[in-house]
Structure 1
Amino acid sequence: MDRRGRRTRRVVAEINVVPYIDVMLVLLVIFMVTAPMLQQGVEVTPPSAASKALPQSDDVPIVITVDKTGQYAVSGQDAPSGQVPLDTIQAYVLAARKLNPKIPVLVKGDKDASYQFVMGAMVAMQKAGVDKVGLVTDQPRSNSNSPSGGK
């Protein structure tokens, strides 16, 4: 056999990206389906008060939520989801504050929650070494018909 009649194959140096695109689309669908389910905490209606807003901070605050039945939830970076016992929240806050001592801690109590439940959350935060605990409120709606309204 002579060399002139033989064809040589060239190596193709291309990456086949089709499988990567398939994986990316599957992951996109998974994240689109699971993202709405990742909401943490419980739904509460905080009381309204005329107070000034906290200064903006780059740190994501830890928010302890107290619903009207006395159930606790916590939201923050890597926080346990759903309703959790107060001692678990206390341990989470203690660990989070060891990593970042400046992280703000807020208590968001339902307006119909017992004062005892809100104070329980604040005492647990004090035991976790938090010296300043903020309370979350809604801004009051201005109503000119109220006794303290703008007359």
Structure 2
Amino acid sequence: MTRRAKHRLMNEINVVPYIDVMLVLLIIFMVTAPMINHGQIELPQIGKSLATPAAPLEVIIKADGSLTLRDRAVSAVEQKVNRVQLINAIKQKQAQNAEQPVVIAADKNVRYEEVMIVMDILQQNQVSKVGLLAQQK
């Protein structure tokens, strides 16, 4: 019986070698970290300053199908227009700024066809930036 007591299995783990390896790795990382080259980002350069975007012209289609135009850059006053006056006003603004954006704000009771007609008129007159204005819930 005394013989069995001497050959008992050891169920403990000796962690001293693991600690030694961890400390050696820590020292290696601490020495090599300052030697690493940090990435340099080369940003592109431009010749002119960036211009702020122009305030969009707002074409409002009311429930009765009438059109009004609001130029938020000048004032918030709505100007009642017909289709010909609308195109003339937009062409005047495009003469000043070729990238003049236009947004269409239609009453929710307006037929979809009316919105498409206005979009078609704008597209035929080379208005490239056309968007739809919606209200958040």
> Aligning the two structures, in what range does the TM-score lie when normalised by the shorter sequence?
0.5 to 0.7
Is 1:63 aligned to residue 58 of structure 2? yes
Is 1:92 aligned to residue 89 of structure 2? yes
Higher relative contact order (CA 8 A, sep 6+): 1
Structure 2 contact 68–80 (Cα < 8 Å) conserved: yes
Provide the C-alpha distance between the structure 2 equivalents of 1:112 and 1:75, rounded to a whole number of angstroms.
20
Quick one: percent identity of the two aligned structures? Answer: 23
More helix by share: 2
- 2:125 is aligned, of 125, 128, 131, to 128
Greater radius of gyration (CA): 2
Structure 2: 5+ residue runs without aligned partners? Answer: 1-51
Matched residue of 1:70: which SS? Answer: coil
Matched residue of 2:81: which SS? Answer: coil
Deviations 1:76-108 (A, max 9, x none): 156995321011101111121121012211000
Matched residue of 1:139: which SS? Answer: coil
Provide the C-alpha distance between the structure 1 equivalents of 2:119 and 2:128, rounded to a whole number of angstroms.
10
More strand by share: 2
Instruction: State the aligned residue count.
Output: 84
Amino acid at match of 2:98: P
Q: How do 1:38-77 residues align onto structure 2 when only pairs under 5 Å count?
A: 58-76=53-71, 77=73
Deviations 1:44-79 (A, max 9, x none): xxxxxxxxxxxxx54121000001110000011569
Amino acid at match of 1:111: K
Task: Quote the offset at 1:139 in angstroms.
Answer: 1.6
Structure 1: 5+ residue runs without aligned partners? Answer: 1-56, 141-151
Structure 2 contact 99–129 (Cα < 8 Å) conserved: no
Counterpart in the other structure of 1:112? 109
Question: TM-score, normalization: structure 2?
Answer: 0.55
Amino acid at match of 1:116: E
